[in-house]
Structure 1
Amino acid sequence: MRRKVLTVEDNQNVYRLQGLSCTNCAAKFEKNIREIDTVDDVQLNFGASKITVHGEATIEQLERAGAFDGIKVYPERQRTPENNVPFWKKRENITAGIALILIIAGYMLSFQIGEKSPLTIGTFGLAILIGGYDLFKEGFKNLTKLRFDMKTLMTIAIIGAVIIGEWSEGAVVVFLFALSEALEGYSMDKARNSIRSLMDIAPNRAIIRRGNETIEMDVEDVRIGDVMLIKPGQKIAMDGEVTGGQTSVNQAAITGESIPVHKVPGDEVFAGTLNEEGFLEVSVTKRAEDTTIAKIIHLVEEAQAEKAPSQQFVDRFAKYYTPAIMLVAVLTAIIPPLFFGGAWSEWVYSGLAVLVVGCPCALVISTPVAIVTAIGNAARKGVLIKGGIHLEETGRLKVVAFDKTGTLTEGRPEVTDVVQLSGMTEEEVIGIAAAIESFSQHPLAAAISRKAATNKLTPIKAEGFKSITGMGAEATVNGAKYYIGSPALFEGVIDIPETVLDRIAGMQSEGKTVMLLGTDQELHGLVAAADTVRKGSAAIIRKLHKIGIKKTVMLTGDNQATGKTIGRQLGVSETKAELLPQDKLDAIKALKKEHGNVAMVGDGVNDAPALATSSVGIAMGGAGTDTAIETADIALMADDLDKLPYTMELSRKTLSIIRQNVVFALGLKVLALLLVIPGWLTLWIAIFADMGATLLVVLNSLRLIRTKYSE
């Protein structure tokens, strides 16, 4: 089901929430807001603890709607204050603690003066009232409206226990339920911290120079074109372009790269990154709400709101599961006494225990807590996953296809060979070639210039530069006219020795472009250049195979010889060369038909059709281009493949944990329900089974916080 597309005319306001404790509370809070007359619609994002309200509603009205759960509401741009109330100081935990003390006192009294003593019963009754006050308040309200959620089921079970005289077990159920609620709230707070940590990355204020005035202001008031001043050791508050100064910037918060990046005038910087050394002047290029980190936060929150396939299944299952459990509980209570002469008190008690053990709490949170934790973890490490569905699909991948240029390779030619063909030294060959090519904008010319700079050669001056279209160039250097270009440029002018022609053919078969340097009398040198494989690409391909990817495929528009050579260097399973964009699309379709789940890794621009067709589109360099973030299902914020194996491992671990959670949630309940047959199921065993399942699910999901990138 597609979400409503919002227009400018929509009167919508977005708020952040504090104190939202459980999925049932979230559903009730959303329902209460819908009942406000001036509200047209509402969408609540439980994972991100955020709500969008269409229509008119004051913060006071919203907080009244959430008063039952102590929910506080803040405007989206306002940072919510840290909730630093210690676990033991929270009111609901204090009342649970008092209930525990009364339960212990009640059991001590039952040993001394008997469990039927009014004092013993009174102590357990007080524990039930104090520990279960909030539970009963909601449970009774739900009963009057015939709304059967978890609190309603618990209320019925505890009242039933009191009616049949099981005061002690009713009190224990109250305490254990309060403990279970506290654990669920803690787990979601822990998972949501991933979002909070992202929100706290970028500063709230920036130092801006306007004209002759330097002022500190809120980032919301900064305008595009303002000059931002950043001192050493300060975080950069806005996206922009360096106009003055140079420094090393730690971009780990955005790209996950641990090594700082050197920035000079003309380079792009991102909000939330750290200026380590020099003083910078930066021209602001984006508003606060459009910065890269703002987009990451928005997309992560949206991703956490989107329900993954497994969560959709669990939600559908839970919809039928709760009424089924209630029916089983009623049948357990009445069938044995009516038809088999069982004792009413004994079987009503068993029915109540079934009601308690059947609470769907653990099942309902089994998937969202894992998805929220995994997506938040990935975002902090520079991997933007745009929804639970993409996280799950990545976990099922069997084949990964790569674009070659700029993905597996550097995307620009580099000089690979310099061969002397006369008395010239290698330095002289490169020096003269660089002198001629300094006038050219061709990528091969840039490669020769970079080679000269890397070798720290003294620049040589060339005169009379002339481009020879499609073949090369000529210029006068040190009084002599030199030519540089393809072998075809010298054909018919100079007799090229057979040995040189063989060498040229050998280099070309390796995917290299060969240029000759000489005069109209003599060849002096040979320069070969090629698009070089990225450092670490081969190791990443090996790691993907090691973690279970069955096949890696490189897709390239290069000729077969170049493609095969680079494919061998990388160790990919298959290379498909001489492909047009449409051919890449067809290749992805064929791979999907043959293998099922296929990922496409590219730069997010040229590969958009293939990215869109693949099961999971993965774009590189998301921090530098909005297109990468917008077109792909997953964006690697750094411009390298370093985090790809981590993303695969995280996705597979998440899938595994979700399966384990569902088994824990249902398995413990089935085991507990089987105890009904011999009559061993007690209320405290039932609540322990429910709480145990919740605790296992929570702790198991939180293991994803510790998932790290393995070197």
Structure 2
Amino acid sequence: MKARLEMTVAELDCADEAQQIQGALSRLDGVVDVQTAVSARRAVVGYDPDRIRPDAIREAIRGLGMTVSESGAPAARHGRSLPELLGWGFVSVVAVMALAGVVGERLGLVDALVNRIPAWVALTAVLAGGYPIFRNVVRALRNRSVTSHALMTLGILGAIAIRQYAAATVIVFFMRLADFIEGYTTERSRQAIKELLKLAPETARVERDGRELALPAGEVARGEVVLVKPGDRIPVDGLILEGRASVNQAPITGESVPVEKQPGDQVFAATICERGALRVRTDRVGRETTFGQIVRLVEEAEASKAPVQRFADRFTASYIPVVLGVAVATYLIGGS
């Protein structure tokens, strides 16, 4: 019997970190499958409860240096860390230098400028700009996982080894630029999901012991009666017991015209009661509602990988050892 564990991971910001989580959890005995949604900072793990406990899964993620909380809790991540700010500053500076280089190349100034830059300055720039990348690569290797950044890091180390600091700087620049673009698109997806979640009401009016109570929508139990007044967003999926109303179902069905509802009809969470009042028996709440399932499908679509992405992950993992093996063999045979 497979159980399901959903977690919020505050540091889940890019595909490499998602790959690290998947690699670390996939090696655990009892873990059946792992899905990650970067835009929602969520990891969903299918596991056999007879072979592994949820705490062991959480500890495996914490072992990667990441923070884990219950799914639905806000990810405690605000602003950017100092290394990230330094990284973006590096990208900006190198971009300006590249633009200046286009002009300087025509004037024959680039070679003279590169030759005048001390090696320690160039090396410091590479290390400062590439620190977030190197940190992720080391973390991944420590957990026996090879990510796409590992391949580029190998190129940086090779450039440094032959004292081609300008080439190393360019590699770091494009890697950081790619991270910036990925972060921008991920943040847009994250904001889109947040806007979608705002359609669901946070509170509900519930009848308990003859009284009307305002409770968080997630605390409503199945079978309880929810009161809906004109202008309210319906907080649950359920069956109308009393009342008639005109309900805007656009968030669920996309219909532009409100639908007339009466006793015995079904209503859905996140829809709007435009006219009339209702007493609704609760059937489903939270992520079990039709609206919750729509949000889940959006997150799963974002988390799923295309065949070309899966091929790229496998290629990266096998390509680096092959290249290193060929390089060592070439050196041993040819001496260069």
TM-score normalised by the chain length of structure 2: 0.76
Deviation, 1:255, is 0.9
Change beyond 3 A, Cα 1:29–1:306 = closer
Q: Which has the larger radius of gyration?
A: 1
SS in 2 for 1:46: strand
Deviation, 1:30, is 3.0
The answer to whether 1:20 aligns with 2:12 is yes
Which amino acid counterpart does residue 149 of structure 2 have in structure 1?
A: K
Which amino acid counterpart does residue 128 of structure 1 have in structure 2?
A: V
Matches within 5 A, 1:141-180: 148-180=146-178
**Counterpart pick for 2:85 among 72, 77, 94:** 94
Deviation, 1:266, is 2.9
| 1:41 alignment counterpart | 31
Change beyond 3 A, Cα 1:73–1:190 = farther
Change beyond 3 A, Cα 1:91–1:115 = same
Q: d(CA) in 2 for partners of 1:27 and 1:193?
A: 22
Q: d(CA) in 1 for partners of 2:140 and 2:281?
A: 57
Which amino acid counterpart does residue 116 of structure 1 have in structure 2?
A: N
- Cα deviation digits, residues 399-423 of structure 1 (max 9, x gap): xxxxxxxxxxxxxxxxxxxxxxxxx
The one of the two structures with greater contact order (alpha-carbon pairs below 8 A, sep at least 6) is 2
Count residues in correspondence: 319
| 1:50 alignment counterpart | 43
Q: d(CA) in 2 for partners of 1:239 and 1:179?
A: 45
Q: d(CA) in 1 for partners of 2:7 and 2:261?
A: 36
Deviation, 1:252, is 0.9
| 2:270 alignment counterpart | 272
SS in 1 for 2:21: helix
CA RMSD of aligned residues (A): 4.0
Q: Which runs of 5+ in 2 are unaligned?
A: 48-52, 102-108
Q: d(CA) in 1 for partners of 2:292 and 2:138?
A: 43
| 2:70 alignment counterpart | 75
- Cα deviation digits, residues 531-556 of structure 1 (max 9, x gap): xxxxxxxxxxxxxxxxxxxxxxxxxx
Which amino acid counterpart does residue 264 of structure 1 have in structure 2?
A: Q
Which amino acid counterpart does residue 50 of structure 1 have in structure 2?
A: A
| 2:310 alignment counterpart | 315
- Cα deviation digits, residues 314-372 of structure 1 (max 9, x gap): 52465247645775698699979x88x9xx7xxxxxxxxxxxxxxxxxxxxxxxxxxxx
Q: d(CA) in 2 for partners of 1:94 and 1:209?
A: 51
Does the 8 A contact of 1:102 with 1:126 survive in 2? no
Deviation, 1:235, is 0.7
How many percent identity over aligned positions?
26
| 2:294 alignment counterpart | 296
Matches within 5 A, 1:391-540: none
Q: d(CA) in 1 for partners of 2:156 and 2:280?
A: 64
Q: d(CA) in 1 for partners of 2:328 and 2:208?
A: 77
Q: d(CA) in 1 for partners of 2:25 and 2:313?
A: 24
Which amino acid counterpart does residue 74 of structure 2 have in structure 1?
A: T
Which amino acid counterpart does residue 312 of structure 1 have in structure 2?
A: P
Change beyond 3 A, Cα 1:60–1:303 = closer
Q: d(CA) in 1 for partners of 2:286 and 2:317?
A: 45
Q: d(CA) in 2 for partners of 1:100 and 1:31?
A: 29
Change beyond 3 A, Cα 1:190–1:46 = farther
**Counterpart pick for 2:239 among 225, 238, 241:** 241
Does the 8 A contact of 1:33 with 1:65 survive in 2? no
Matches within 5 A, 1:350-389: none
Q: d(CA) in 2 for partners of 1:313 and 1:167?
A: 33
Q: d(CA) in 1 for partners of 2:141 and 2:115?
A: 30
| 2:253 alignment counterpart | 255
Deviation, 1:162, is 1.3
Does the 8 A contact of 1:251 with 1:273 survive in 2? yes
- Cα deviation digits, residues 591-617 of structure 1 (max 9, x gap): xxxxxxxxxxxxxxxxxxxxxxxxxxx
Q: d(CA) in 2 for partners of 1:45 and 1:143?
A: 21
Q: Which runs of 5+ in 1 are unaligned?
A: 345-711
| 2:224 alignment counterpart | 226
